[in-house]
Amino acid sequence: MPRRLLPALLVAVLALAGCASRHATRAAAPATSAAPPPATTAASTTGTTVPPRPRYRFPVAGCRVTYAHVHHDYPATDILAPRGCRVVSPVDGRVDEVSRVDRWSASTNRGADRGGRSVSVVGVDGVRYYGSHLDWVAPGVVPGAPVRAGQLLGRVGDSGDARGGPTHLHFGLSWPTRPGAWWVRRGVLYPWLYLDAWRAGRDASPAAAVRAARAAAGRAVPPCRVDC
């Protein structure tokens, strides 16, 4: 081969090698895009599930009601409503204590009997909701039974020391206690702020306020000091 052709041939060979190298780089690019997703994406599939916020319902359904922002002697709310109005669970939870028999007597006026027929529910938010002076307790509402927000618990009446007076639901908020601690169960803070919100369709939770009241009390079952 004539020597004058060697330089031109060398240039051609180097050019072909460069093209092959660039092609190999482009061909390798898809392997990079197939890499595993970032660790944050994988972690999101294995992280703890955040429970949904509780939904709340006004405890008397289907009737016109009135109630005041005050109560005699201790914190609670009397919700005035016609006899037979539906009393429902304010939140998802489990039935706590149930009284189906009206044992109240004016001659003894025992604190444990004043509520007459009553139901308490411990909600998924850790709050105990108490309703008393019922005319009737719904079948299947027994201690430990699960309930859903809005589920029928009973009917408005005038049992207990409400006998002969306006029919109403006594409604109390407290923390859970051992059975029989009726002076805690009847109410430890005013519910009207939450009743106002639920009536307007807002999900206001009393859980933080109940926890604060429990801390202030110093023990789960403090002594009865008012209307004992």
pLDDT at 70: 87
Averaged pLDDT, 210-221: 97
Q: Summarize pLDDT for 96-129 with one digit per residue, the tens.
A: 999 999 999 999 999 999 999 999 999 999 999 9
| pLDDT recorded at residue 47 | 60
Q: How confident is the model at residue 64 (pLDDT cuts 50, 70, 90)?
A: very high
Q: What is the 3-state secondary structure (H, E, C) of the chain?
A: CCHHHHHHHHHHHHHHHHHHHHHHHHHHHHHHHCCCCCHHHHHHHHCCCCCCCCCCCCCEECCCCEECCCCCCCCCEEEECCCCCEEECCCCEEEEEEECCCCCCCCCCCHHHCCCEEEEEEECCCCEEEEEEEEEECCCCCCCCEECCCCEEEEEECCHHHCCCCCEEEEEEECCCCCCCHHHHCCCECCHHHHHHHHCCCCCCCHHHHHHHHHHHCCCCCCCCCCC
- Residues 84-100 have a mean pLDDT of 98
The answer on pLDDT for 207 being more than 60 is yes
State the pLDDT confidence band at 50, using cuts at 50, 70 and 90.
Answer: low
